[in-house]
Amino acid sequence: MQTHQPNNADATLRQFLQYALVGGTAFAVDFSGLYLLTEQAGFHYLVSATIAFLLGLVINYLLCIAWVFDVRIISNRLHEFTLFGFIGIVGLLLNNALLYALTEWLGLYYLMSKVITAGIILIFNFSLRRRVLFSARHSASERQVDLG
C-alpha cells in the first residue's frame, strides 16, 4: 500500500481523469443495466436504476483501488468498501432524485435523464471519495487507520 501522494493540482487532475475513465466503465455497466432491466425485464426505471447503480458501484470500487487512488487511509478493506459504498448510496439517493425530477417533472426520456445525472454524480462521488477515503491530507499517523 502506497502512502505518499503529491497533493497538487496535477495529481488531482490526473486522478480526476482516471476516475472519469473508471466512471465511464462503471457508467457503461450502470446504463446498460438500467436499459436492460427496464426495457427487457420490465422493471420500473427507478428499480432498474437502483440495481444498475449498485453493480456500477462495485466495478467503480475495484477499478479505483487498482488504478486511480494512490493513497488508502483505511487499511481494513471491508471498512474501506463500506465507507466507499456509503458514499455511493448517498450518490444513489441523489441519482434517483435527479433521475425522477428530470424524467417526471421536466419530461425528459429516462435514459437522457440518466446521462445528465451521471455527470453530476461523477463530480459528487469523486470529490467526496477523494476527500474522505483517498487523500494525502491526513498526517502519517492517520494514513493507516483501521476502523476495526
In a domain, 3, yes or no: no
Asked if the structure places residue 111 within a domain, the reply is yes
CA gap 105, 7 in Å, rounded = 41
Picking from 93, 86, 31, 35, the residue whose alpha carbon sits closest to that of residue 61 is 86
The domain total for the chain is 1
Can you give the pTM of this predicted structure?
0.72
Bridge partners, 74 (sequence order): 145
Q: Which domain holds residue 63?
A: 9-143
- Say if 148 falls within a structural domain: no
pLDDT given at position 109: 97
Residue type for 57, please?
L
pLDDT at 112: 97
- pLDDT in 10s for each residue of the chain, 148 residues: 454 455 578 888 888 899 899 989 999 999 999 999 999 999 999 999 999 988 998 998 999 888 888 778 888 989 999 999 999 899 989 999 999 999 999 999 999 999 999 999 989 988 998 888 887 665 344 444 444 4
For residue 2, is it within any domain?
no
Does residue 1 belong to any structural domain of this protein?
Answer: no
